[in-house]
Amino acid sequence: MIELAPNHSMSNSLTRIGTQPIALAAAVLVAVVAGGASIALWRGYTGISPEPDRVVATRQLQARTAQASEQLVEKTKGLEATQQESIDQLQVVQDQLQTVRRLLAAQQTETKKLAEQVGGLTGAIDGLRQSFASAQPSDVSNTPTIRKKPIRTKRSAVSHRKRGKSRG
């Protein structure tokens, strides 16, 4: 096998950089400053600056946000009004229901009173029927006979009238 000799030149350059950190920092600083200067010169030469575009975009976004907030407030107010109307209507319905319940209770009380009165009257009628039924067979013999009136004919009616005129 062939052995390769270690490459001293590469490891030597890395150690050189590691030993001089000030030179490395200075090179990075020069590169950053050169990049910033080139961007500033490019913007100055072309006249294109993203800041006004950002300001315009921010203002448009703020306007849209304000408009959306106003719409949200309007919709919320509309919902509040609708909710209040619903609450009012529900209150009216509850009041009507309570009135109907009171009327129904009064009607039920009146129905109970009438049912008791009808029961009392039914009992009284039954009592009268029973007393009439028990009294009727014994009273049949004691009842006076009713005379029948003679049926008048036209002649008897006429003669009766004549008699009445002659007396007068």
Do 17 and 24 touch, CB atoms closer than 8 A?
yes
| Residue carrying the six token digits 């100055």 | 44
Quick: pLDDT tens for 99-122: 999 999 999 999 999 999 999 999
Q: Is the pTM of this model over 0.75?
A: no
Quick: pLDDT tens for 38-95: 988 887 777 666 667 778 888 999 999 999 999 999 999 999 999 999 999 999 999 9
Could you give the percent of the chain with pLDDT greater than 90? 47
